[in-house]
């Protein structure tokens, strides 16, 4: 919890600095190409981003799998659809762990600055590791209903998003033993604060602070099948639109 508190304070300070810089520039007409902000896009317009996540696992979980930790890279694509809908796709990978996520969001515009959206996505997880004394793999399906609200200053956008994690099915294999360890259950939730700042021309750089409250968090699947309790897992994210 101490790490969680320090990370939250640091994120609030960073947010304050970004907002202080952005407010004088709110009148800019050329809006940055945000991917997290619930903005309305023209039908069939595309936006892409590349990102990276740093995850702080709880001490007891971390010690179980200290030899099998990998960086989590993220690729996201958003396409505008008619009637304020967005098609949202993501690929999250640690090379030995891969999650493919596809969903849709509907955007509501309160005014030019304040927007909100509701969304639902389905993700497929596949992971395999045969090193570091492991002979394991995992596969399964997860659903993510979400809701978000965002405020756009013109050169900077702030987004608050809350998401539920619902495991539809999950199968784990260790050696020759296969176990269906999770079927149709609530896995937890996360909330995320994201800032997307104009970077160069119409591109953006974004930072995010996400707090996961999960029984099972897929980037660290190697140890989670043996645990059946909820954990607070803070996560720091950086992304660039391309």
pLDDT-derived band at 13, boundaries 50, 70, 90? very low
Mean pLDDT for the stretch of residues 222-227: 61
Residue 149: both structure tokens together: 């609200």
Q: pLDDT for 141-160, tens place per residue?
A: 999 999 999 999 988 999 99
Q: pLDDT for 62-87, tens place per residue?
A: 655 444 556 789 999 999 999 999 99
Total number of residues shown for the chain:
242
Mean pLDDT for the stretch of residues 190-201: 92
Domain, as residue range, for 22: 2-241
User: What DSSP line would sit under 152-163, residue for residue?
Assistant: E-SSEEEEEEEE
Residue 60: both structure tokens together: 């007891």
Residue 25 backbone dihedrals phi, psi, to 5 degrees: -105, 15
Q: Note the Cα 1 to chain centre separation in Å.
A: 21
pLDDT-derived band at 53, boundaries 50, 70, 90? very high
pLDDT at 155: 86
Which one, of 36, 71, 74, 75, lies nearest residue 54 by Cα?
71
CATH number assigned to the domain comprising residue 236: 2.40.128
- C-beta atoms surrounding 154 within 10 Å: 19
Between CA 197 and CA 134 the distance in angstroms is 41
Total structural domains within the chain: 1
């Amino acid at each position: 919890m101490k790490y969680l508190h320090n990370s939250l304070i640091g994120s609030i300070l960073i947010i304050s600095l970004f907002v202080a810089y952005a407010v004088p520039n709110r009148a800019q007409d050329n809006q940055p190409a945000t991917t997290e902000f619930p903005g309305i896009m023209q039908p069939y317009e595309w936006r892409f981003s590349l990102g990276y996540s740093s995850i702080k696992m709880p001490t007891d979980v971390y010690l179980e799998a200290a030899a099998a930790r990998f960086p989590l890279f993220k690729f996201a694509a958003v396409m505008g659809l008619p009637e304020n809908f967005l098609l949202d796709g993501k690929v999250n990978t640690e090379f030995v762990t891969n999650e493919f996520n596809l969903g849709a969001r509907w955007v509501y515009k309160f005014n030019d600055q304040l927007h909100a959206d509701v969304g639902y996505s389905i993700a497929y997880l596949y992971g395999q590791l045969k090193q570091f004394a492991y002979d394991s793999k995992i596969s399964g399906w997860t659903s993510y209903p979400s809701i978000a609200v965002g405020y756009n200053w013109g050169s900077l956008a702030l987004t608050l998003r809350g998401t539920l994690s619902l495991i539809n099915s999950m199968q784990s294999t260790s050696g020759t033993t296969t176990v269906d360890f999770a079927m149709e259950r609530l896995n937890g939730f996360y909330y995320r604060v994201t800032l997307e700042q104009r970077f160069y021309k119409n591109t953006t750089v974004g930072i995010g602070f996400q707090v996961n409250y999960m029984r099972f968090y897929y980037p660290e699947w190697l140890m989670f099948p043996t645990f059946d309790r909820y954990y607070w897992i803070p996560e720091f994210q950086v992304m660039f639109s391309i």
